[in-house]
Amino acid sequence: MKISLQGNPVFCDCQILWLLVSTVHTTKRSETVCNGPAWLQGRSLYNLTTDEVTTWYADCDERCTCECHSDDYGREIHVNCSNRRLHDIPKSFPADTTEIYLGGNQLEYLNDTLVKKTPKLRFLDLNTNLLSNIKPSVIPNHVQVLNIKGNKLSSFPLDLVSSFNLSSIQLTDNPWRCDCEDYPFSQWAAAFDGTIEDAEQVVCAQSANALVSGKPFLQLTQKDLCPSALMQVLAFGVPSFVLLFTALATSILYLKYKREVKVWLYARGICGFLQCIKEDDLDEDKLFDVFLSFSSKDAAWAYEHLIPRVEANGFSVCTYDRNFKGGFLIQDIIQEAVSSSRRTLLVLTKNFMDSEWCRWEFRVAHHRALEDKINRLIIVVVDEVTPEALDEELHLYMQATNYLHWGEHKFWDKLIYSLPKKDARQRLILSALDTQQTFVSEEQLEAPPTSHMESSTEV
């Protein structure tokens, strides 16, 4: 089969690749010349290679990897392979390529493709890749402009810059180590001042040498890059010592003034975010675990059935007759009793509701709980009281929270759980005290108040 193409405006792109590799005989092939692209215009079809008609221009099909453009005279070819997610350099380039853009890819190493395929290359852009080393043997001899910023290079490429007649090189955004091995490169940079285009932005990475970390490379002296062992110890040791001393001093001051610090933070609303104020902090100075609020008419029952069991579990109990002397206003005593106790336990009976001061004790304890945002109230219902007999505030509180019934299943487990928690050290001490307590039977402890309780004067 013979094909005659003479006189046709042949565009020498990837579409004619089949013609170059086929066995089809083309008449007067040497007289058929390319009408485009610009860098192949006027070239004889007979002299074309497969590399030269590889898919290189902007409008080629989906097989194309890069875009290719020429200057107005078709003598310089610029290949743009930027931001193509390339892991390897393309295998083919036009022979007359002078500029290649390979920035924004994922190249980890360079092979010898550029040396073999682009002998006329003068401009090479390799910015923003993953290169950790660049050997001179993979860079074409005529490269004059080199961009290697934004890679993973840690040692300055002295062998690279010494091998080429570079007019410009860019180096920023690499983790430069800046050690004694890089001093010769600093001498080269001083001798070829202006070659490093971004010289003022080239800084040393954070490294073991604290003397140079984060500093501009070209401002460093030989003493900076090659410090003595003593200087390295001082540079690293002094900041570490200062940091350690500061942390130790801060810890000591915090332990000594912990409460004052927490109060200061709490007053400025910071503790809500840090959660630094806990119940134990608020209760640290309280004298009693529980204030027992009951009618004086129920005192005999409380001392016989309730107080012994609570104290047997290691809780300190506050009552009027045991902990307060006469001569003070009753409202002041109530305020002091509630404020000095971690919990307030109300023994709710008919006698309690008949006492105006008992109801006042509930209000004080309730307001204290709302103020501290801690549930400090425990109510033990001994006598069934109708809602109509309850104070309105007490009735609303009992509707919104749980309370205990005297004699209910696992009453003591629930009551002890509601009282302040004891840590391991307290439990060890209290277990020793517990062995010294007079044993009280379950029948005695759970016996309800009798109607013949001795009556005592209301506080």
Percent helix, strand and coil across the chain, each to the nearest 5: 40, 15, 45
CATH number of the domain to which 110 belongs: 3.80.10.10
Task: For residues 131 and 199, state if they share a domain.
Answer: yes
Mean pLDDT in the chain? 76
Task: For residues 64 and 189, state if they share a domain.
Answer: yes
104 occurs within a structural domain: yes
Task: For residues 324 and 250, state if they share a domain.
Answer: no
Q: Write the pLDDT tens digit of every residue in 242-252.
A: 788 888 888 88
CATH number of the domain to which 304 belongs: 3.40.50.10140
Task: For residues 165 and 237, state if they share a domain.
Answer: no
Tokens representing 359?
């109801």
Alpha helices in 270-384 (DSSP H): 271-274, 279-282, 299-301, 307-312, 320-323, 330-339, 350-354, 356-372
Using pLDDT thresholds of 50, 70 and 90, give the confidence band for residue 350: confident
Task: For residues 298 and 266, state if they share a domain.
Answer: no
Task: For residues 243 and 298, state if they share a domain.
Answer: no
Residue 139, pLDDT above cutoff 90: yes
Q: Which residues contact 75 (CB under 8 A, 6 or more apart)?
A: 39, 96
349 versus 367: the higher-pLDDT residue is 349
Using pLDDT thresholds of 50, 70 and 90, give the confidence band for residue 231: low
Closest Cα to residue 84, out of 110, 65, 61, 57? 65
Q: Which residues contact 5 (CB under 8 A, 6 or more apart)?
A: 26, 29, 32, 45
Cβ atoms of 96 and 77 closer than 8 Å: yes
Closest Cα to residue 319, out of 297, 341, 351? 341
Using pLDDT thresholds of 50, 70 and 90, give the confidence band for residue 61: very low
What is the reported pLDDT for 359?
A: 75
- Cα separation, 381 vs 373, whole angstroms: 24
Among 42-51, 100-109, 331-340, 425-434, the least confident range: 425-434
* Phi and psi angles of residue 328, each rounded to the nearest 5 degrees, phi first: -115, 155
Closest Cα to residue 63, out of 95, 99, 92, 96? 92
Task: For residues 125 and 143, state if they share a domain.
Answer: yes
Residue 331, pLDDT above cutoff 50: yes
Domain containing residue 370: 281-421
256 versus 258: the higher-pLDDT residue is 256
Number of domains the chain contains: 3
Task: For residues 165 and 202, state if they share a domain.
Answer: yes
What is the number of alpha carbons within 13 Å of residue 365 lying toward its C-beta? 27
Among 46-50, 172-176, 412-416, the least confident range: 46-50
Using pLDDT thresholds of 50, 70 and 90, give the confidence band for residue 198: very high
Rg of the chain over all Cα atoms, to the nearest angstrom = 45
Residue 414, pLDDT above cutoff 90: no
Q: Write the pLDDT tens digit of every residue in 355-389.
A: 877 777 777 777 766 665 667 788 888 887 777 77
What is the reported pLDDT for 400?
A: 76
- Cα separation, 107 vs 33, whole angstroms: 37
